[in-house]
Chains A and B, each alone.
Chain A
Amino acid sequence: MAGVARPIGILAQLRLIAALRWRMTWNSLRRQTSRLDAAGMAIGGFFGMLMVIGTSIGCAAGTYALLSSGHVGLIGLLYWVIFVFFQVFPLFAAGFGRKFEFRSLLRFPLGPRTFYLLSLGYGLTDFAAVAIVCWLTAMTIGAWLARPGMVPAMILVNAVFLACNVTLERLIGSWLERVLARRRTRELIFALFVLLSIGGQLIGQVFARGNLGGWATPIVIKIPSYFSVFPPGLAGKGIIAAANSYGGGIALACAGIAGYVVLFGALLWLRLAAQYRGEELSETPAAAVARPAATAMGATAEGRDLRWLRPQVAAVVRKEARYLRRNTFLLMNLLMPVLLVLLLSFQLGNISRRRPSGSLPFKGISAEMAFPGMLAYLLLIAAAPAYNSFAYEGRGIQTYYTAPVKFRDVLQGKNLFLVMVIAIQVALCIAALALRVGIPSAPRFVATIAGLVFSLSGQLIVANWSSLTFPRKLEFGSIRNQRASGMAVLMLFASQIVIAGTGIAIFAAGRWFGNPWLPAMVFIGLSGATLGGYFASLDGLSELAEKKREVLIEALCR
């Protein structure tokens, strides 16, 4: 057969794929929702840029200070911060633009080397990668200002360190994606994560209280020296060697980091080679266990009869409960606020314990401050999923439109379930706070609870609107490229800032007027108003859902 396709070079393929990504991003802006999303991302990107600029100045100033004050030994800490940020941040953040699964390119005559380079290229397009390039550049500028002679060594160390970070980040990402594709492993890792969080806290407490056993102390003291053999430690050593004009030390440090690059690169090659051979990264099918039909129906008995609800609302509540149970990441998100509140209460308790005893109660911090602050913090995190509440519906969204149900029932079901979950979280936090810092005075307690009702009902109005207007599909079992629409995130921040500002002003007014019950009364009044507003909004939101059905179906049925 004549005219078989000629092989093209790696560079030409990479260029083609870069053009493809650009074209996909550009074409996605034709849709209004994508344009709004892009606008949201641009605003978020602006603040991200400010953050990067600010921290870069900090890096430059820090490097300058360390090098000019003779404390160069501490520069390894800067590398550790950069290293941890780069390895952790991409797990929680996602790239801009429509999700693009580069594995799908494997159907083309793409060589393994091109595939490998593509994967590494992806590592350099993350926000985190741009940030650390800025920070490492800033450190080089700081070195140039302090000791210009160190700049070549700094550039060399930073370049190898950057390569090491990118390779490791891709390695972790690809392995996590592989491991977390299996439901069972995901659950195991989640359990380990929770255990580690709690374990870490307990160890932290032992350290904070100075109760370390005599046998453990020498081991703990040695731990930092073990860290020096890791890439950030080696980078620090390289800079120290450069400060001492010790070329051998620089070469040794760079060789060490380069060794890590080779190791991580080889492991990444193995991982990507498996993908290249056609490994399927998807949910492992559940084992088929034959059972009689009667037992099959037993599965539906899980949902207790919510007789006090309309059947449609109850059906949505039960469905939400089942989805939550099967979504490890969502479960983790729901447990995190409670864990973080516990963590904060430990930290604050330790800080205040170090102070000379004053007016604070026995357990450390004042419950009057901690109680509203921590419950507000809990709500800040726990209410976030409501702003993209159809994220996991997928094609199921069509069922809501074909069934004889008004969207007010769907929204009520979803909101009610979230409220029930938050109520459990609040109860757990109150119990934890009661143990750690005590219960505040009655006026503060009532004001906090009423404030929570006000905040949650107010946020739900905005969140429902945001869910209908800026829907974004999220996928089970995937951690990369999973983020809400940029506009939904902006809505979340904006409404939380407004509500937090209102709350602070109300508490300040109570203090100003010397009336401890004033905030409680104001919050109760506001709660009544926002609850009324919430129920009044449902019909309008139902109409909006009808108008937005094409947007929702298109966004979620992809």
Chain B
Amino acid sequence: MAELAIRTTSLTRRFGALVAVDSINLSVESGQFFGFLGPNGAGKSTTIKMLTGLLAPTSGSMEVLGLDFASRSLDIKRQIGVVPEGMGLFERLTGAEYLDFVGRMYGLDRATTRQRTAELLDFMQLADRPKALVADYSHGMQKKLALAAAVIHRPKVLFLDEPFEGVDALAAGALKQLLGRMIENGATIFLTSHVLEIVERLCSHVAIIHKGRLVAQGSLAELRAGVAAGGDAGPMTLEQIFLSIVGREGSAQPNPEELSWLA
């Protein structure tokens, strides 16, 4: 079995009476492009926040690259990159200043930071507005900058919370190109997304969380095998797999008879 990049054991997070993440056991191998799916409010962002140090778990443990998060969080943070929910940008810096800041925070020397900043801005097509503040960037530009910041220190594991949300096709293309290059170089990518087509195209492995519990985990082929109805309609899409699993777990399907007043 390959080395594990991420492992959680009975990871739980409560907000008062609400159990947002309920005792999940995740295993992500190094080099995998891992999609973490779930309906709204299922616990995806809460999980990714715990895995990146933005939220403390109520109980359970997490290991990233074989290191225990509770005791080695700084060592882990040096080796991971994060695009958090909301992107976490300093809006009153320019793109170059922000990357310079992040590079230095990750301990890169000045020359390396400057070189990588220039290359990343160029690659992301953000170099032509050197004086624009991040606050003045479009949403897509901010996403690209957040991704650039997440990879500037060449992380071994990259956590992306909805990286394609609100991004146009051109920007999405640049993001996918960068992510593909990282996977080729042996990095592990853990992403959440609502866009199942993108996850299906990019990810080799998927986990589905529903109402805080992990309801499926494995490669796409394994998931297909798990929910296959035995028909001849061809391989199931990820959307069909997702709906099948989430539906099976008791999600109420909308009744067309309801909201009749809208007709």
Contacts and interface: CB of A to CB of B under 8 A. Distances in A.
Interface of A: 2-3, 283, 285-286, 288-300, 302-303, 305, 311-312, 314-315, 318-319, 322-323, 326-327, 392-399, 401-406, 476, 546-547, 549-550, 553, 557
A392 B130 CA distance: 22
B220 interface: no
A417 to B, nearest CB: 13
A403 B105 contact: yes
B87 A395 contact: yes
Q: Which of A283, A286, A401 has the most CB of B within 10 A?
A: A401
Contacts of B89: 395-396, 399
Contacts of A401: 52-54
A288 B101 contact: no
A364 to B, nearest CB: 43
B173 to A, nearest CB: 20
A290 B82 CA distance: 29
Closest 3 CB pairs of A and B: A398-B88, A296-B130, A396-B90
Nearest to A285: B136
A286 B131 CA distance: 7
A403 B132 contact: no
Contacts of B122: 293
A316 to B, nearest CB: 8
Given A311-B107, A319-B93, A403 B54 contact: no
Contacts of B127: 291-293, 296
B228 interface: no
Contact of B77 (A298, A327, A398, A402): A402
A295 B93 CA distance: 16
Contact of A312 (B75, B104, B117, B261): B104
Nearest to B128: A290
A409 to B, nearest CB: 9
A322 B105 contact: no
A298 B102 contact: no
Given A315-B105, A322-B93, A397 B88 contact: yes
Contacts of A311: 104-105, 107, 109
Interface in B91-123: 91-97, 100-102, 104-107, 109-110, 114, 117-118, 121-122
5 contacts: A285-B136, A286-B132, A395-B88, A549-B56, A557-B86
Given A396-B90, A402-B88, A312 B107 contact: yes
Contacts of B75: 404
Given A311-B109, A318-B101, A395-B88, 12 more contacts: A286-B131, A289-B130, A293-B122, A297-B114, A297-B117, A299-B130, A323-B93, A395-B89, A399-B105, A406-B74, A476-B91, A546-B56
Contacts of A286: 129, 131-133, 136
A404 B87 contact: no
A283 B74 CA distance: 36
A546 to B, nearest CB: 8
B197 to A, nearest CB: 28
Interface in B175-202: none
B106 A300 contact: no
B212 to A, nearest CB: 18
A404 B149 CA distance: 13
B96 A297 contact: yes
Given A288-B128, A296-B127, A312-B105, A402 B93 contact: no
Contact of A305 (B91, B102, B110): B110
B104 A549 contact: no
A549 B54 contact: yes
Interface string B149-185: 1000000000000000000000000000000000000
B227 interface: no
B217 to A, nearest CB: 25
Contacts of A312: 104-105, 107
Contact of B94 (A2, A288, A299): A299
Contact of B55 (A294, A396, A403, A550): A550
B90 A394 contact: yes
Nearest to B79: A404
Nearest to B80: A402
B225 interface: no
B91 A396 contact: yes
Contacts of A549: 54-56
Q: Which of A3, A286, A292, A295 has the most CB of B within 10 A?
A: A286
B90 A403 contact: no
Nearest to A297: B118
B132 A288 contact: yes
B135 interface: yes
A399 B55 contact: no
Given A296-B121, A394-B91, A291 B130 contact: yes
B84 A398 contact: yes
B237 to A, nearest CB: 33
B77 to A, nearest CB: 4
A400 to B, nearest CB: 8
A288 B95 CA distance: 13
Given A291-B128, A395-B86, A322 B107 contact: no
Nearest to A550: B55
B191 to A, nearest CB: 15
B248 interface: no
B100 A289 contact: no
Contacts of A314: 104
A399 B90 contact: yes
B79 to A, nearest CB: 8
B181 to A, nearest CB: 19
A319 B99 CA distance: 11
A327 B109 CA distance: 28
A402 B118 contact: no
A487 to B, nearest CB: 23
B120 to A, nearest CB: 10
Q: Which of A289, A297, A392, A547 has the most CB of B within 10 A?
A: A297
A289 B96 contact: no
B88 A399 contact: yes
Contacts of B139: none
Nearest to B133: A286
A476 B52 contact: no
A283 B105 contact: no
Contacts of B110: 305
A397 B75 CA distance: 20
Contact of A403 (B94, B102, B136, B261): B102
Contacts of A322: 92-93, 97
B78 interface: yes
B128 A299 contact: no
B162 to A, nearest CB: 14
Given A289-B129, A396-B91, A3 B261 contact: yes
